[in-house]
Structures are given as C-alpha cells and as structure tokens.
Structure 1
Amino acid sequence: MVRIFDFPKVQLLVLSAITLILWVFILKIDTPIDYFGIIALCLSIIFHLYRVVPYSPFFPKEVVKCNVETESNGISLLASNVLTENSNYQLLIDQIEELQPNLVLTLESDERWEKALSSIEKLYPHTAKVPQDNLYGMHFYSKLPVKNLEVRYLFKEGIPSIKCKVQITNQQWVNVYGLHPKPPSPTEAPTSTYRDAELLKVGKEVSKIAEPTIVFGDLNDVAWSKSTTLFRKISGLVDPRIGRGRYCTFHADYKLLRWPLDHLFHSKDFCLVNLKVLPSIGSDHFPIYAKLQLSSLAEQLQEAPKADEDDEVLAEEKIEKAECY
C-alpha cells in the first residue's frame, strides 16, 4: 500500500486548520453533520500535530549541539540527489569546494555526472562509482581513509547501496551506509515493500554494531512516517532534525509541496555541529549537509530509540515479505 498521505502532513494540517476556522467563524453550525465535521477536523489537526511537531523547534532536541568544535574527531557529509537529466554539474561542485565535506554521496548520478565530478577526485581519492541511467546511480567520495567498502544490492538488481568504514582519527573508524531505496509510486513500485525492507534490513544490521555509525541518503520516505520511525527504533539511531525542523529537500521547484526525503541518522555518540539544506543545483532535490562530532558527553545525554518485541516482529515480517515478493 502506498502511504501517500504520510508525505504532506504539514500541508494537510494547514488545510484542516483553515477549513476549521472558516467553518466555525463563517459558516453556520446547526446540524449534526456540522458538529461531526468540526469534531473530525479537530481530530485531524491533533493527529497531524502529533506526527510533525517533533520536527519543529517546539519539541525537545534529540541530538545535542556540540559545545566545542574540534576537527580531530569530527566528520562532515554532503548528500545530493542530482536528478539524472540535470546538467548543472558546476553548482554542486561549487558547493563541495566551498564546504569541503569529508564525504560526498550523489544519487541518480550517471556516467555524465561521474565524468563531471572527476574534478573533485584529487581531494577525494577514495571512491565507489555506480553510474546508472535508471535513476539509481550512486557515487561515493571520501577524503578520509576507507576500508571494507562494498556496493550492495540488498533486494533488487539495479538498486545499489554503499557500506564502508571511514577513519576519522588514528584509532577511530565510523560505519557509513549510503542508501537510495526504490520508492512506492505508480512509475517505480506498486508498494513500499522493497523500500521498507531495505531500511529495516540495514536497521537490524546497524543495531548489532557497537561502533559509531551514520546512515544517510535519499530514503524516499518522510521523517515522521511509520516506516522511518520503525527504522529508527530497530537501528537505535537518532535524528538531528527532531527539535530543530523538517529540513525539507524535495520538491525543489514547488515551495508549497516540500517534505524531507533526504535523511541523516547517526548513533548517539555524535553531537551536532551543523545541519543545513543547501541551495538548489537544478535538481528536484536540494542537497543536504551535516557536520557531526564524536562526544562522550553526547553519548551520556542522548537517548536512542528502542524497539519493543512487536517492533522486532513487524520488521522481520516486512523483510521476509520482500524476500518472498
């Protein structure tokens, strides 16, 4: 089932609030249907608020801000769904050169994008390149030393993901996952089965890792959806947007129809230095940039989401369904 109404929660919230105001102050309320409609709108507003308020400054922050920034144990990342047909290569290159992230992940990148981005490889000697013209190309660039670099196809051929370890200090390695699962849509997949299963399979894998871990990319799902919430519980990763904002990255061309499809989740041993959505590069997605820092204090202060038995069972069912699909 395509959970399309998971996406425009803020838009539905605003629409419900406007309808309620007009109904109460302009239209007459004198029939049982009117009262039923008012109650339904109130319940709708409460439901949508429950889902989106955590992604606003009115909610406690899940990830603490770093008190002191140090380069020695920090890591910065830039992720961009470039849109395969987009040819504004230099706009992204300019952002990379300005921000100098340690890691760059591009999605929907094909051979043309690979050729254009070859200019950054002097600064990013460690790479994984999967040029494809099926909207699921993926390129990974790292300034930091890399080991155990894998390009994986978890459920579907042609839908890659990246897994590796990057070294941020002499003693410290960080697990990094780059994802772009197939979305549920009339032109892509009839259901969310594969998307959900890929997220949850990675989540179960991450839950067994004791080292610092980062998962980022275009997950083709919004931050407040049931699938993403389940992923966070299964993986035990935290979301730096909670208590700060939605950080909408899609759709770049329609200001009133935007939601957060590009994500960054990390283990609770990181604090946040910076998180921002970057200017348009001509794609339908905005790039997103984050800088994190390992912190023993953050690990003590932050509480990771936890899965209960029902969550574990549901995750296993979703994974098994995709394996048999």
Structure 2
Amino acid sequence: MAWLDWLVRTLALVPIALTVLPLWRTPKWWVRVWDYPRLQLAVWLAVMAVAELVLLELAPAGVVILVATLACLAWQLAQIWRYTRLAPRQVQDAVADGSDRMVSVLIANILQTNREAGRFLAEVRRHDPDLVLVVETDRWWQEQLAPLEPGYPHRVLHPLDNTYGMLLYSRLPLSEVTVQDRVSQDIPSISAKLRLPSGQLVNLHCVHPEPPQVDNDVEQRDAELLLVAEQVAQDRGPTIVCGDLNDVAWSHTTRLFQRISGLLDPRVGRGLYPTFHADYWFARWPLDHLFHDTCFRLVELRVLGHVGSDHFPVLVRLRFDPDAEQAQAPAQDEPSAADHEEARESIAEGFAAEREEQAEQAARPSPGGA
C-alpha cells in the first residue's frame, strides 16, 4: 500500500533528520535542543527500523532509508552508552565510613513558581546533606527556606525574580565567596572555598546558565561552562562543580567542559539519572549535574523524589581520597590544542552575543516612552 510506505518512510525520516541536525556545530537553539532527547530518538529509530523491515519492500529506496535509520540508531546509542551500566565507570566506588573526609551535596532546580516548599524541606531533612544548592529562587523561596538556616550556618543567598536566583546552604565553612555574572547579566554563579571537616579545602563552583529555547541560543551558556572549566584547570586542587547546567552529559559542550577541566562525571558507567522533566516520564534527561576531580570517590548518587518542580533534586555523596587520583586520572581524556582553541572561540562568541543582546535591550523604547 503506497500510503503505508509513505507514512513509514516519513516517520523514519524525522528522527534521521533530528539525529543529523545537531552535527551542525551552531549555537542556534533549535539545533542544540536536539542534543537532549537522544534516548527518545534512539527508541523512535529502533521502532522505525523494525517497522521498515516488516512493512516496507526492500527496494532501493527502502534499503537506503533502512540503512540510514540503523546508522542513526547506532550513532544515538554511541552518544549515550557511557551513561549505562555497560560502560566502565569513570569514578570509583567508596563506602560511607563516617570520616571527616565525607561531603554530601543536594542540588535542586526548585521551579520559581512552585509553591510546595514543604515537600522540598522534607526531602532535605530526610537526606541531611552537607550542602544544599537551590536554583530558580526568588525572595519568596528564600523566606520559605529560612527553616534550614539554623542547621546551615554558612550561606550564600542571591535571590532573583528572573528564574536565575541561587541559594547555597552549607554546614561546612565557606571562604573566598564570590557571586558573579560570568557572561550574562543577572545570570549568577557562585564560587567559594569549601572546608571539609578534615581541614581539606575544596574549590566549589555553582552554576545555572540559560537553556536553549525560543529567542535564546546557547553562546552564553557554552561560554559560562567553558569559563568555569578553564578556571578549574588553572586553579587545580580538589574541585566540585555543580548545578543545573541546562545541558546534557553527552553533549559536545559538556564533553569539552570535562576535557578542559579534567573533572569526572559519576554518572558514567552507572546510568542516566535523569532529573528533567519530572512530570513526563517519556521526556526525561539529565540536566542537573555534579562534576568533581580525581581526588574524590563516589559513595552515593541518587535522584530524589518529586518536590513540585519540573526537576527532581539529585543527591551526591563523595569521599575525599587522594589515593584515588592515579587510579581515576586515566578515565578522563586529555584536552588537545584544538579543544583549547575551540573553548577560546566559544567564550569569545558568548561575550559577543551578550554584548549584542545588551545593545538590543538598550535600543528598545522604554515602557511608556514616546
């Protein structure tokens, strides 16, 4: 039946096109957004491959589409297989020994319009982390999370009403705290020195750049992530980078971030651990991350329960272990000269995009103007 052939081929060509499109290295949001649903596209391609084998005649056109479908399926699986239990782990396991080298971090994009603060507070009390990083927080959320303050004497509170506010609560001492808009105006990040109970200082970076969305390409997001990567590489020493990166673990930018920074991803070899979208099981991918250097081993990595947000919180427990450095160092690829050049170009493009955006805003008539 001609109509059935047409339908199957059309349904196969869509995920083929969406697989090929992100190979175009462009910051356009409508391209970069297809970095996210690689698992969903892989499932779609697998279904279409079966449909083509069963329903299509293996004439030349049908063979071409089938080969393209299988090739795209293999490509998608190649991008995400590291985040399955089939791949070797990048970070070694450790046990919770109650030592003074332990640190736990809870990361949550709370959704600024969410009003179920009680559910989130209950989750924090249940898991009792050393650090709580909450993003998309305004003044209302700062007031609602005030009950955390007695247990977290070290705090960096930077609420904003633009969905990019950040609140950091720490049981462990913080020093050299900096809140800065690295690239985009009113898109802050937090940097600090975190002191473990053992006395060991850890470089801490908390980030929440903008996502790819309508009228918002990713130059600034990529620039911010790569600026952090370069700072990590320059500072060296024990480091944790965490937050809602608004990028998936398998994207080109995140992989470049890892190579430049030398940081490890505890998801590798363990699973996807998707944190977004909390309300749609069929459309989930990992946006909330914690990366760390080779001096840490992983005690626990867990996606927590629904707290009324479109993100699930994620909990990571680490143990500082300098002996792990040599064992885990080979797990990360060394950056090449081309990687450093690409990072410099991406950072320059991010600042240029921000200047252009600010110039456009300045040129707009003010409300109520003539």
TM category (shorter chain) comes to over 0.9
- Match for residue 101 of structure 1? 129
- Match for residue 254 of structure 1? 280
Secondary structure at 1:122's aligned position in 2?
helix
The alpha-carbon deviation at position 277 of structure 1 amounts to 0.3
Q: Does 1:225 align with 2:251?
A: yes
Aligned length: 322
> What one-letter code is carried by the residue in structure 2 that aligns with 1:256?
F
> What one-letter code is carried by the residue in structure 1 that aligns with 2:129?
P
The 3 A distance-change label for structure 1 pair 272 and 170 is closer
The 3 A distance-change label for structure 1 pair 283 and 296 is same
- Rounded Cα–Cα distance in structure 1 between residues aligned with 2:281 and 2:250: 19
Moved more, 296-305 or 156-165: 296-305
2:176 to 127, 132, 148: 148
Secondary structure at 1:265's aligned position in 2?
strand
> What one-letter code is carried by the residue in structure 1 that aligns with 2:328?
Q
Q: Does 1:126 align with 2:154?
A: yes
- Match for residue 282 of structure 1? 308
Does structure 2 conserve the Cα–Cα contact (< 8 Å) formed by 1:200 and 1:231? yes
- Rounded Cα–Cα distance in structure 1 between residues aligned with 2:38 and 2:99: 38
Does structure 1 conserve the Cα–Cα contact (< 8 Å) formed by 2:221 and 2:350? no
2:37 to 1, 4, 8: 8
2:79 to 45, 51, 55: 51
Return structure 1 stretches of 4+ with deviation > 3 angstroms: none
Does structure 1 conserve the Cα–Cα contact (< 8 Å) formed by 2:90 and 2:266? yes
1:199 to 220, 225, 240: 225
Does structure 1 conserve the Cα–Cα contact (< 8 Å) formed by 2:45 and 2:73? yes
Does structure 1 conserve the Cα–Cα contact (< 8 Å) formed by 2:101 and 2:198? no
Q: Does 1:89 align with 2:108?
A: no
Q: What's the TM-score once normalised by structure 1's chain length?
A: 0.97
- Rounded Cα–Cα distance in structure 2 between residues aligned with 1:67 and 1:276: 15
- Rounded Cα–Cα distance in structure 1 between residues aligned with 2:324 and 2:112: 38
Does structure 2 conserve the Cα–Cα contact (< 8 Å) formed by 1:69 and 1:273? no
- Match for residue 29 of structure 1? 57
- Rounded Cα–Cα distance in structure 1 between residues aligned with 2:225 and 2:167: 19
The alpha-carbon deviation at position 305 of structure 1 amounts to 3.2
The alpha-carbon deviation at position 324 of structure 1 amounts to 2.1
2:241 to 199, 215, 218: 215
Secondary structure at 1:275's aligned position in 2?
strand
The alpha-carbon deviation at position 68 of structure 1 amounts to 5.9
> What one-letter code is carried by the residue in structure 1 that aligns with 2:65?
G
- Rounded Cα–Cα distance in structure 1 between residues aligned with 2:45 and 2:310: 27
1:264 to 269, 283, 290: 290
Secondary structure at 1:268's aligned position in 2?
coil
The 3 A distance-change label for structure 1 pair 68 and 118 is closer
Does structure 2 conserve the Cα–Cα contact (< 8 Å) formed by 1:238 and 1:305? no
The 3 A distance-change label for structure 1 pair 67 and 103 is closer
> What one-letter code is carried by the residue in structure 1 that aligns with 2:137?
S
> What one-letter code is carried by the residue in structure 2 that aligns with 1:7?
Y
Structure 2: any 5+ residue segments left out of the alignment?
Answer: 1-27, 354-370
Does structure 2 conserve the Cα–Cα contact (< 8 Å) formed by 1:237 and 1:305? no
- Rounded Cα–Cα distance in structure 2 between residues aligned with 1:271 and 1:27: 50
Does structure 2 conserve the Cα–Cα contact (< 8 Å) formed by 1:167 and 1:174? yes
Secondary structure at 2:350's aligned position in 1?
helix
The 3 A distance-change label for structure 1 pair 75 and 28 is same
Q: Does 1:302 align with 2:331?
A: no
> What one-letter code is carried by the residue in structure 1 that aligns with 2:102?
G
Does structure 2 conserve the Cα–Cα contact (< 8 Å) formed by 1:60 and 1:243? yes
- Rounded Cα–Cα distance in structure 2 between residues aligned with 1:286 and 1:30: 45
CA-to-aligned-CA distance 1:287-322 (integer Å, 9 cap, x gap):
000000011332121023321010000000000111
- Rounded Cα–Cα distance in structure 2 between residues aligned with 1:297 and 1:280: 37
Does structure 2 conserve the Cα–Cα contact (< 8 Å) formed by 1:13 and 1:49? yes
Identify the structure with the greater helix proportion: 2
> What one-letter code is carried by the residue in structure 1 that aligns with 2:111?
L
